[in-house]
Chain A
Amino acid sequence: MRLTLKLSFLIVSFEDIPELSSELVRFYSVKLGSNTVCEFEKFDALDLIDTNHLEERDILYTVLNEMKWRGAKRFFFKPEGPASALPRITALQADKNPYDFGLRLYCVWINENAVVLLNGGIKTKHDPLQCPNVKDHFSRAKKIAQKIDRGLKDNLIIFSKNGVRVDESFDFDI
């Protein structure tokens, strides 16, 4: 019997987000495969007009802006397995719609000085894996977080004030 194993990997590369970064915190995103646009740019481009989620984006972006001087404290993020999500601080009014769990931005919290922002969307199910809007972003965030964690443990990924360095020997793919 012949077994064919099909492997498909997406190469991941870090991108700086200078607009969000400060002396205290550096925000990064990632580009996947041959994509020319990074994940956070895709999130930023989400069209929320005609939805009731504009205020949530106001809150989320104000939180990111505040972290420039407060630092990216762990408790500003919602744990999502090995990954994280924003916003921890949510919109003022509780939404009564049972199919609307609000806007989610998945990310990887490295430390108070480094965060990798990924992609997200409007979550429509309690279990993100059941939500067509966010399931791919959620799964990808977990894989990227696990990969980064491994790289950090093996000293093959190093985040510093000067940026992120990925050792050539590290296979940064998911």
Chain B
Amino acid sequence: MPLKNYHKTIAETPDDIKNYVRDSMHILERLNELLDKKFDGKQKLLAQKMGKSEAEISKMLNGVQNFTLRTLSKLSAAFDEPIIAICTEHEHANFEQVKIAGPDVKLCMHVEHDGEIKEQNYVSSHSLSNQPSEGKKEFA
């Protein structure tokens, strides 16, 4: 199928636009993941928790690209889980997990029962089985 503009666009789209789309999609995925996990996928329950109408929540979740930090903070508090992570070199930064989301690469960590990370390596997602083996945490 001769999709001239598709190929040209994919080749020439500036990095900032690609990052914008990826970040927006990451946030959409995270919000829906948390909505399922904490509120059984029901916006109505999230609305009750936040003291807002269902329409307001729907509008909020639909306008993901216009999220302010304040909105994200409110949602994060309602879910009682973080939504975004900040990359920092601050010496007191305390990351328990590093999630690398990408088409081909996953970060695998072997975690001991006491939480110590024994090994970590990047592998192609195609070479991973669907079910991580025991003792191995897989992040994607």
Contact = CB atoms under 8 A, between A and B. Distances in A.
A76 B28 contact: yes
Given A19-B1, A61-B13, A75-B28, A66 B6 contact: no
Among A20, A61, A78, which residue has the most Cβ atoms of chain B within 10 A?
Answer: A61
B17 interface: yes
Contact of A63 (B4, B5, B25): B25
B28 A57 contact: no
Nearest to B35: A75
A70 B32 CA distance: 14
A44 B3 contact: yes
Interface string A27-43: 00100000000101100
Given A59-B20, A69-B103, A88-B64, 19 more contacts: A19-B3, A29-B1, A38-B1, A40-B1, A44-B4, A44-B5, A46-B5, A58-B9, A62-B9, A62-B21, A62-B22, A66-B22, A69-B102, A69-B125, A70-B25, A76-B25, A78-B62, A88-B62, A92-B20
Interface of A: 15-20, 29, 38, 40-41, 44-46, 55, 57-59, 61-66, 68-70, 73, 75-76, 78, 88-90, 92
